[in-house]
Amino acid sequence: MVRHVFTVALLGAMLASSLQAFAMQASSKHDSAPAESSTAPVSIDRPIPPPAANDKTENLTVEDFLRGLQAMKAGPANIEQDPDFVNAIRGLGHVATVYTDEITKARKAGKATDSCPPHGTSSMSTDTLAPFLLRIPPEERRSMSMNQAFHMYMREQYPCPGKA
């Protein structure tokens, strides 16, 4: 089973289900017994890969992120070498960190936020994020930043009471 460490808790939680699925697929290809099904997150024990040559950490688009998810579907072997995967991991980590900082600062200042995740929320899944991103028209995915898309996703997942 291949395991990864993603130092941003939110990122690790979002990708855990996808990594678990890939790890289960890989183990079922090599074992005669069927892989166990579990909803527990994958344990993590490797650091985030270093930036890719074409680092898009701070400028990741929706299209870039989805391309990284496609790279994951190819399997976990040497995934850290795939620049699309590395950009997706690092870029989403950056977006999640910025978002968490924004929410924390706004709450501490008593200001309204555009989404209202429960305090301490740090788990979500690509099972809901990926379909949300795929609803964005392809022509918009090319230029829409993951930061903007992530904020839209969080507004949909965690709407604030009284906001429509």
The Cα 59–Cα 116 span in angstroms is: 25
What is the mean pLDDT, run by run of 10 residues, along the chain of 164 residues?
Answer: 33 41 38 35 55 86 93 76 89 90 94 88 74 96 96 94 70
Q: Kindly report the number of other CB atoms within 10 A of residue 100's CB atom.
A: 16
Phi, psi angle pair for 85, to nearest 5°: -65, -45
pLDDT value at position 56?
87
Helix, strand, coil percentages in the chain from 3-state DSSP, rounded to 5 = 55, 0, 45
Residue 12 sits at the vertex; the CA angle it makes with 93 and 73, to the nearest 5 degrees, is 95
pLDDT value at position 55?
86
pLDDT value at position 157?
92
> What are the sequence ranges of the domains in the chain?
9-157
Question: Taking each helix axis from N to C terminus, what angle separates 62-73 and 126-134, rounded to the nearest 10 degrees?
Answer: 130
